[in-house]
Amino acid sequence: MAYTALYREWRPQSFSEVVGQHHISRTLLNALKHDQVSHAYLFSGPRGTGKTTVAKLLAKAVNCLAAPGDRPCNACPACNSITAGVSVDVQEMDAASNRGIDEIRDLRDRVRYLPVEYRKKVYIIDEVHMLTEPAFNALLKTLEEPPKHVLFILATTEPHKLPATIVSRCQRFDFHRLDIKLITDRLQQVVQARGANVTPAALWTMAKASEGAMRDALSLLDQCLAMGAGVVDVGEVQGMLGQAGEDAFEDICRALVDRDLGRLVRRLEAITAAGQDWRQLTLGLSQYLRDILLVKLCGAEAPVDAHDPARLDVLGHFAQALPESQLYQALETLAGVEEAIRRTGRGRLLLELALIKLAAPVFPGEGVPVPPPEVAQDREVPKAPIPTGGTPPRETPPSVRPARDDLQCKWEAVMDRLKKSRQMSVHATLQPVRVAWGEDENLQLVYAREYDFHKSRMEQDAACHRVLEAALREVFGRPVTFKISGEEGMQAPAGSCDPKADPVVKLALELFDGEIIKGT
């Protein structure tokens, strides 16, 4: 006897067996019970979520010989012949290979004939969005006013490609992706019925890899069971899918936390040796970092996959260790890498470069590494050259605040942090700012007169203050207080004087025969 694939063997034979589409099953059952079945239905949704299955159940129900409340009974000749696929009154048509106007004209001619065996002639048109425009036009009138003995069921994964004139003539039902737990429970039911031995973690991995499609999950289980006797564990499933295990993601995240390039490179070499798929690795790592971010934002109530309680503890550890801005940047970077891998296929190089940049001691966009404040004080600062024949400049007492050039560098790093962490509103509000140190060691944010709106918003919005304080603390390595002022209220920085009196400026003017141009 020929082998039947699991997704066909376990196809639901009644509306009560349909998983995860209760809103559709209930509506159709009520329509059958009250004899309110429409002449045309449109089933839309992702692949493997039950569109064709429900279409066949509806075809059985409208032709079932049992009482209306018991349909389909799966015992009468009508149900049996439709289940076996031998009923001449139920026609399945693939629009991808029958997409022209000639096929639709032929269909339009056939609908005029009465059913041969049962109550209704049912036409199930799969992937209906593949029909050509002339074919849709030919179908319009028939779909609007079909004979009473005809039922049309259109199925599509891309409803946005259908003409509005077609959609408006049908009752539309949207099928949803299935929850991982629902898929896992169904797989467990199949495994028990088959007497197989598959670990819960392996079933969860299959359910997750199916991306909400029950058919895909059953096909994966079918493939795993074909491996042979013994226990099917998560490692075998991941190997079959070309996926890295979560231990690889944990190792990469530890490298990001510790800025440990050696650990990162060793793990990537191990992944290369295992022959794992780079795009799958990128997608898996993105999902893992997303879960960390959700735990950081939502705590214990985070909507993450926690089939193993220990996993939630590990995610919580990384959520505390990794700053929010770094997680945002990592997710944004990996999204670009995944798209680039899809286009070019150069997975190893693209992912290695991205992860090394993320784990590097210098955060991308910060420029030269900035030492902590206590180290910066101990470092010897080179003295400015003394002009020939001039008087040595007066020594300036040491200060914990950076020099002006260093301050500008750090302010650019602050703005870059805000941009990378998607705080675009705060970034835009601070865009016109000039920064300087005040005498009281406060950072002055100075707005020109034409930016009064930005200044007012920054002064009044407490949320903007919190975001800026966090960014300043990350860049400067210590809390930094700031004051907001207009140009007229700006303090003169300590030690400021006529620029020409500065020895460095004076030397530059002499060497280059230059002049000072005041900015506006």
CATH number of the domain to which 452 belongs? 3.30.300.180
Range of the domain at 286: 246-359
pLDDT average, residue stretch 467-480? 82
Are residues 136 and 216 located together in one domain of the fold? Answer: no
Are residues 195 and 100 located together in one domain of the fold? Answer: no
* CA–CA separation, 420 and 193 (whole Å): 51
pLDDT average, residue stretch 431-447? 79
Which residue, among 335, 372, 334, has the nearest Cα to 353 in the 3D structure? Answer: 334
Are residues 160 and 18 located together in one domain of the fold? Answer: yes
* CA–CA separation, 89 and 112 (whole Å): 13
Are residues 224 and 261 located together in one domain of the fold? Answer: no
pLDDT of res. 301: 77
Pairing of strands 482-486, 443-447: parallel
Identify the three-state secondary structure at position 203: helix
188-243 pLDDT per residue, tens = 999 999 888 898 889 998 998 898 999 999 999 999 888 865 788 888 888 888 78
Let me know if residue 513 belongs to a domain.
Answer: no
pLDDT of res. 500: 56
pLDDT average, residue stretch 91-115? 89
pLDDT of res. 227: 80
93 or 515, greater pLDDT: 93
Are residues 212 and 250 located together in one domain of the fold? Answer: no
**Number of compact structural domains in the chain:** 4
pLDDT average, residue stretch 461-484? 82
Q: Do 101 and 67 meet the contact criterion of CB atoms below 8 Å apart?
A: no
HSE of 182, CA atoms in CB hemisphere, 13 A: 17
Let me know if residue 152 belongs to a domain.
Answer: yes
Are residues 289 and 352 located together in one domain of the fold? Answer: yes
Q: What are φ and ψ of residue 447, in 5° steps?
A: -105, 140
Lowest average pLDDT, out of 72-76, 182-186, 462-466, goes to: 462-466
**H-state helical runs in 150-195:** 164-167, 180-194
Q: Do 205 and 244 meet the contact criterion of CB atoms below 8 Å apart?
A: no
475 or 132, greater pLDDT: 132
Are residues 107 and 75 located together in one domain of the fold? Answer: yes
Q: Which two tokens stand for residue 375?
A: 């180290």
Classify each residue of 414-423 as buried b or exposed e, where b means 16 or more C-beta atoms within 10 Å of its C-beta: bbbbbbbbeb
Let me know if residue 335 belongs to a domain.
Answer: yes
Let me know if residue 266 belongs to a domain.
Answer: yes
Let me know if residue 113 belongs to a domain.
Answer: yes
Which of 1-15, 167-181, 235-249 ranks highest by mean pLDDT? 167-181
Let me know if residue 383 belongs to a domain.
Answer: no
Torsion angle of C-alpha atoms 125, 129, 130, 133, degrees rounded to 10: 110
pLDDT of res. 229: 59
Are residues 328 and 266 located together in one domain of the fold? Answer: yes
340-398 pLDDT per residue, tens = 888 888 888 889 899 988 887 644 444 444 444 444 444 444 444 444 444 444 444 44
Are residues 352 and 440 located together in one domain of the fold? Answer: no
DSSP code per residue over 361-416? SSPTT--SPPPPHHHHHHSPPPPPPPPTTSPPPPPPPP-SSPPHHHHHHHHHHHHH
Q: Do 273 and 248 meet the contact criterion of CB atoms below 8 Å apart?
A: no
Are residues 20 and 138 located together in one domain of the fold? Answer: yes
Are residues 120 and 93 located together in one domain of the fold? Answer: yes
4 or 440, greater pLDDT: 4
118-132 pLDDT per residue, tens = 999 999 999 999 999
Are residues 27 and 125 located together in one domain of the fold? Answer: yes
